[in-house]
Amino acid sequence: MMPNIVYLRQNHPTATLNEHDVYLIKGLIHHGLPIGEIAEKFEVTKSCISRISTGKIWKHVPEYVEEA
pLDDT on residue 15: 64
* Cα 36 to Cα 17: distance, rounded to the nearest angstrom: 16
Q: pTM (2 decimals)?
A: 0.77
> What's the pLDDT tens digit per position in 2-61?
444 444 445 555 568 999 999 999 999 999 999 999 999 999 999 999 999 999 999 999
pLDDT on residue 2: 45
**Per-position b or e across 19-40, b if 16+ CB within 10 A of its CB:** eebbebbbebbeeeeebeebbe
Domain definitions of the chain by residue range: 16-53
Using the predicted structure, report yes or no on whether residue 1 has a pLDDT greater than 50: no
